[in-house]
Amino acid sequence: MNLEEIKQTARDKMKGYCRVCKNCNGIACAGEVPGMGGIGTGSSFTANIEALANVKLNLRTLHDAKTPDVSTNILGIDLSMPILSAPITGSDYNMGGAIPEAEYIGMVMSGSKYAGTIGMCGDGGNPVFYTSGIEAIKKENGHGIPIIKPRENHRVIEMAKQAEEINAPAVGMDIDGAGLVTMALMGQPVGPKNLQEIKEIISAVDLPFILKGIMTVDEAKLALEAGAAAIVVSNHGGRILDSTPGVAQVLPAIADKLKGKITILADGGVRSGVDVLKYLALGADAVLVGRPVIIGAFGGGAEGVRLVLETMANELKQAMILTGCKDIKSINSSVIY
């Protein structure tokens, strides 16, 4: 099994939903929500890709970073790489349904663990989405992180307690799901949360809590004030609000104010290990990967997910050799041109 075979198999299985383009930039699938595209014009999806592409690296080879160490620790979890699988649901209406939801998320959780990292499971309009993720994490002895939609507080807390029961190392909420089209289509009550509501949720949960969908400095500060252990700087893959900037554009300002005070994850447009390096140099502690992991699962199951993640880790290692970074902690803004 190689990446090209995985992509071709995924292309066949997701025909009509994802073209598995050579350059996954959101142009061909613009407006396809549900589906794999960005909302509206698709500009928020493409902004993630373009913002990363506009970041240039300083080539350095007069140094001693001969065998970089890409391992890291996030929220007390030892990982072989600073790359996590993002929470994505909706195999049926987003990806074509060739792989049932429970099988898909099982592949993601297992493949992530095989690669030495960890996957996140998501939530959605159909209750099977979250329960499938919980079951997949349970099968991996708690190795996975559930992410919950911004439902009514009592429901979020109930679902977070399920994560506690299966010994997950953390739990979170993708707060930017407040206006998600697919949730609205399924009649699910979701919405924005104020500071007090976030505090209520976090104080009721005995796990490190992640707030996903932060795109401004002021909301990053509110997440810290609310007691969040981590934030994910993310525009939800460009799938909820048209005309947002790319994550790489807003990440430096957030990292400037919050780095070291809260774990910072970045999500959006990661297609290679070089992209991972860019986000780390811009201030992230680790990144989430979405579409490439979907392609890995549909094209090669858990082994396909593992191969996608390990390939990115190897690309990251090579990029670190060529920018003079001996380990993850040594990656900083000096890498950026």
pLDDT digit string, tens, across residues 36-58: 999 999 999 999 999 999 999 99
The reply to whether omega before 34 is within 30° of 0 (cis) is: yes
Residue 182 clears pLDDT 80, i.e. is over it: no
Side chain identity, residue 131 = T
Average pLDDT of the residues in 250-279: 98
Would residue 211 be called left, alpha or beta, if left means φ above 0 and alpha means ψ between -120 and 50 degrees?
A: beta
324 contacts: CB under 8 Å, gap ≥ 6: 60, 61, 62, 63, 65, 335
Average pLDDT of the residues in 111-139: 96
Side chain identity, residue 53 = A
138 class by beta-carbon count within 10 Å (0-12 exposed, 13-18 middle, 19+ buried): middle
pLDDT tens-digit readout, 284-317: 999 999 999 999 999 999 999 999 999 999 999 9
Mean pLDDT for all residues in the chain: 96
Residue 180 clears pLDDT 80, i.e. is over it: no
Maximum C-alpha span of the chain: 58
Please report, rounded to a whole number, the percentage of residues in the chain having pLDDT higher than 70: 100
- What pLDDT does residue 227 have? 98
